[in-house]
Structure 1
Amino acid sequence: MTSARSTSEPESLPRAAFAAVDLGATSGRVMLALLSGAAGHERVDLVEVARFANGPFVTPESDTARLRWDVRRIWHEVVDGLRIACVAASERGLVLSGIGIDSWAVDYGLIGADGELLEDPRCYRDSALAGTSTEVLDRLGASGHYRANGLQTQPFNTEFQLVAGRDDEVWPAAASIRLIPDLLASWLTGRVVTEVTNASTTGLIDVSTRKWSDAVIDGLERGYPSLGDLRSRLADLVEPGSVVGHLTNSVRRSTGLGRVPVITVGSHDTASAVVAIPADDDRFAYVSSGTWSLVGVELEVPVLSEASRRANFTNELGVDGTVRYLKNVTGLWVLSETLRSWREAGRDISLAKALVLAADATADRTVVDVDGPEFLPPGDMASRIAAAARATSQPIPVSPGEVVRCILDSLAASYRRALGEVRELSGKEFDVVHIVGGGSQNALLCQLTADAIGVPVLAGPAEGAALGNVLVQARAVGAVHGNLAALRAVAHRSSNPITYVPTGTSHRLRADDRTTASSEERSHGWHRKDPSGSR
């Protein structure tokens, strides 16, 4: 059992149940959510009823090895998880009141006119995407493009994937483009929609209007005639909290469920995680920490300045008309890949052991730019770290403790740079940083982050995406009421965030950390403060 709060048993009997399908790039899970408590005192307990490994597979195509997702296997795992959730809810005298799906962003499936999946969806880490973003932005004009979609340039943004695949054999037969959560929702209900928070990562959305962008789509169609009619392949946009439809008869037979509604949530997992931030006011920043780390603040309007574009910040859409102004930086991917590579080499070091070794290693001995492109593909991260250290004339990490400490110190430095830029570019002040997601359980990283930034870090909930997913569902069916602040109050009652206060240890910026110079820190008040007066 995974609980959104610290106790394993709810204090009162649950009155409603929901299923949250939460898909990550390395694992997927189906969570049964139990809502209890009277109005104004609600809380959620999460029970993990199914978990399965996830990850791209390599398939040889021509002379290029490509990474793809086995989305059919994911589908079968989801259906099986919903079957188990049905049983688990029934054992508690409940039926599911809703199902919501969140996942990683940008990737999509192509569906033919007959409704069949044409090929396994491409994975965003596919090396075949390299170079496409530069070509597209040169052709469309980077500044005007950013003013329309406000999106950080990443080589794997959906629009660049579409351009890279425009000459693929299956493209002419594609009648529908469906992002991963929308694809699964369409298989559950038979209805096709596009949820807007995830759609905002495609590059095809006008971030100011929350609609499909005429400027971007027309520009792509003109610039790449072989794309054909791109617009006709895009489904209608819907906001979080919309009912997509109810389970098909086939899914009902497979799961034992009844006429359960499938509800759009913040289907980009970070959008759901931000809903679940247990903040008591709006003076916060966040790090949604998992395979990736998304570092930013919540705003009412996008930041579309040229300075923001040059800093490569993104304006992604959030729940209730909000904007997630953030930078998508490397997360625990580097650490997980390091441990995986060691296992394959016969050096089986657990995460717990690695963190103990890292805590004993010298602080800030080596800090590298883990956001560099060399850390994007799978592979031997320890060797890449050594190469980066050598290139910057720093000590080369050799022991497991040194390697892992380098990764964590480098992540904390990356968070510091990103948050310094957030504060400057958005003008948003914050007194605390919330870390949500799996990385909130990494106590060493949380402490290093607090030390690096100089403000308290509140860690948790670990299952932030699933909890936010459920909160939007519960409000959609009337089980809870209110705005984002009210939902976050439920999140606070449902979790027990741990506070990490800055210590006297200062994270030393390297000479190449030019984006956050010491003078800039002083001008923006990045000084150590008494934690007792920080909130």
Structure 2
Amino acid sequence: MQKKIHVLAIDLGASNGRAFLGRFADQKLEIEEIHRFENRPLTVNEKLCWDFDSLWDEIKTSLKKAHVSGGFDSVAIDTWGVDYGFLDREGKLSEMPVHYRDNRTDSIPEQVFRIISDFDLYRLTGNQILKINTLFQLIASKKERQFEQAQTLLFMPDLFGFFLSGNLYSERSIASTSQMFNPVSLSWENAILTPLGIPRSLLQDVIPSGTIVGELRQELCRELNIPQSKVIAAAGHDTQCAIAALPSNAPDIAFLSCGTWSLFGTELDSPVLTYESMKDDMSNELGANGKIDYLKNINGLWLIQECRREWRKENSCLDYSEIERMANESEPFRSFIDPDDDIFSSPGDFPQKIQAFCTETGQTVPTDIGAIARCIYESLALKYRYTLDQIQKNTGKKHTALHIVGGGVQSRILCQFASDSLGIPVYAGPIEATVFGNMMIQLTALGAIQNIQSGRSIIAESVQIQKYVPHEQGKWNAAYQQFLRMINKENAS
């Protein structure tokens, strides 16, 4: 029997964090949730920030609980993309990391385009042009004179990795979300940094996913009364961990990493850096297996989460299953939204925002919970079809199935609508894809499995996958034409 290897995966999402302990032996992986906690932003000096101190305390709690639960040979942390923290000359955090939903970047892209065109940014980095991207945030930081105190920039997973190990690095998948990293040369792009006055010295050397970066700091181990173990840079970007856990190695599948965000795309051998790809808002990000994950960032179930937050002011017991039930009972195809319209980019009264969008676009205005929720679920499914059409146009690939991974797998209505809208089978699972991917990358680094492809085969045998097949194609095709008219009208205005 193979010696059992224990790996600790800490997954920090935009609304919560989880720690899972994995036990691997004889090509089987068992996972156990040992800690879960909320990730609540806070306002500091009128900026929306991440509560780093609270998150670091929760990470230390995770380490202690993992030790009590049997110990671990290695640990890796993944987080959301684009955000970062600054260290000062003493290696201390100079201020709380700013949240990507803070409004400080509202006018920054246009300012950057006066120096470097949007297409030059795209052809050099392959990143979808989003105001939340690290590059635009850094320009805001520069205007706020934060560079004066900053010695080092670390992306969020690398920042926590530094506090774990004491070592500085930039993991490749998270670097590829920044709009400063070239996916062809696999290096920081000086043609962007230099004209925008961003010091190269702020940035760290880039390392591949699955690099052992050191061991837990001795002083941290003494504080927590735990033994040292290896610290691994998995795929720092949680999306790439989730995609690493796809339960298939087939080349003709599309993927959807579904949670707060919907990351919809496919794997390629090389980036697509054309003008058409840029105009279609596609992004080229580096996966843990060295492939290009050609994808679009789409506002995801955050739309439902924000609506529920508002609805719970009147019904504190309202849960997601009840929302889905009401959506199922609501009349179909009454109105649609573009999930990525600017009105949905920041928190607020989302039911009111959806009603305002429908009024402005001349559609039937949904008034109750079921109608609003159905509008969201249908609009997401139709935006997936819109995105798949763009991907197939830009790559020449034909996709025969969609694999959905992540927390959105639990939304049966969204999974079914996605199959109906795309007209192809949907395979849903695993729910904890990010955790599985994080662990498989660790196990690859430790030499317990050969590569990501082998890990995917193991995951396919370890989890249950739910299949959805399309139906009512005629109605969904008609709805898609209606959705296209709405999107085209919105883009023209």
Find the counterpart in structure 2 of residue 9 from structure 1: none
Question: What pairs up with 1:473-488 in 2 under 5 angstroms?
Answer: 473-481=442-450, 483-488=451-456
Deviation at 1:21, TM superposition (A): 0.7
Q: Secondary structure at the match of 1:367?
A: coil
AA partner of residue 407 (structure 1)? I
AA partner of residue 113 (structure 1)? R
Could you tell me which of 138, 145, 149 is aligned with 2:125?
149
8 Å Cα contact 2:361-2:486 kept in structure 1 = no
AA partner of residue 36 (structure 1)? A
Could you tell me which of 26, 33, 36 is aligned with 2:15?
26
8 Å Cα contact 1:284-1:431 kept in structure 2 = yes
8 Å Cα contact 2:334-2:364 kept in structure 1 = yes
Could you tell me which of 359, 375, 387 is aligned with 2:344?
375
Unpaired runs of at least 5, structure 2 = 489-493
Q: Secondary structure at the match of 1:121?
A: coil
1:164-191 residue CA offsets vs partner (Å, 9 max, x unmatched): 1213243301000011100000001110
Does 1:82 find its partner at 2:53? no
Q: Distance in 2 between matches of 1:447 and 1:340?
A: 24
8 Å Cα contact 1:16-1:36 kept in structure 2 = yes
AA partner of residue 52 (structure 1)? F
Find the counterpart in structure 2 of residue 529 from structure 1: none
Find the counterpart in structure 2 of residue 509 from structure 1: 480
Q: Distance in 1 between matches of 2:313 and 2:217?
A: 42
8 Å Cα contact 1:421-1:516 kept in structure 2 = no
1:259-316 residue CA offsets vs partner (Å, 9 max, x unmatched): 2111111110010101100014221100100110000001110000111011111101
Find the counterpart in structure 2 of residue 494 from structure 1: 462
- Evaluate the alpha carbon distance shift between residue 280 and residue 160 of structure 1 in structure 2; reply closer, same or farther with a 3 A threshold: closer
Does 1:389 find its partner at 2:370? no
Find the counterpart in structure 2 of residue 70 from structure 1: 51
Question: What pairs up with 1:464-475 in 2 under 5 angstroms?
Answer: 464-475=433-444
8 Å Cα contact 1:293-1:329 kept in structure 2 = yes
Give the fraction of aligned pairs with identical amino acids, expressed as a percent: 33
User: Considering only aligned residues, what root-mean-square deviation do their CA atoms show, in Å?
Assistant: 1.7
Q: Secondary structure at the match of 2:472?
A: coil
Could you tell me which of 370, 376, 383 is aligned with 1:401?
370
Q: Distance in 2 between matches of 1:500 and 1:184?
A: 38
Q: Distance in 2 between matches of 1:512 and 1:475?
A: 43
8 Å Cα contact 1:86-1:255 kept in structure 2 = no
The more displaced of 19-28 and 344-353 is: 344-353
Find the counterpart in structure 2 of residue 43 from structure 1: 28
Q: Secondary structure at the match of 1:30?
A: strand
AA partner of residue 269 (structure 1)? D
8 Å Cα contact 2:444-2:452 kept in structure 1 = no
Q: TM-score, normalised by structure 1?
A: 0.88
Q: TM-score, normalised by structure 2?
A: 0.95
Deviation at 1:55, TM superposition (A): 2.6
Q: Distance in 2 between matches of 1:340 and 1:254?
A: 38
Question: What pairs up with 1:96-495 in 2 under 5 angstroms?
Answer: 96-221=72-197, 227=198, 230-346=199-315, 348-481=317-450, 483-495=451-463
8 Å Cα contact 2:441-2:452 kept in structure 1 = no
Q: Secondary structure at the match of 2:73?
A: strand
AA partner of residue 421 (structure 1)? Q
Q: Secondary structure at the match of 2:375?
A: helix
8 Å Cα contact 2:253-2:402 kept in structure 1 = yes
Q: Distance in 2 between matches of 1:433 and 1:213?
A: 33
8 Å Cα contact 1:367-1:510 kept in structure 2 = no
Deviation at 1:46, TM superposition (A): 1.5
AA partner of residue 471 (structure 2)? T
1:226-261 residue CA offsets vs partner (Å, 9 max, x unmatched): x5xx20011111001111110011221233432211
Unpaired runs of at least 5, structure 1 = 1-11, 90-94, 222-226, 518-535
- Evaluate the alpha carbon distance shift between residue 385 and residue 515 of structure 1 in structure 2; reply closer, same or farther with a 3 A threshold: closer
- Evaluate the alpha carbon distance shift between residue 510 and residue 390 of structure 1 in structure 2; reply closer, same or farther with a 3 A threshold: farther
Q: Secondary structure at the match of 2:194?
A: helix
Q: Secondary structure at the match of 2:196?
A: helix
- Evaluate the alpha carbon distance shift between residue 516 and residue 397 of structure 1 in structure 2; reply closer, same or farther with a 3 A threshold: closer
Q: Distance in 2 between matches of 1:85 and 1:515?
A: 50
Q: Distance in 2 between matches of 1:516 and 1:320?
A: 35
Q: How many residues align?
A: 485
AA partner of residue 21 (structure 2)? L
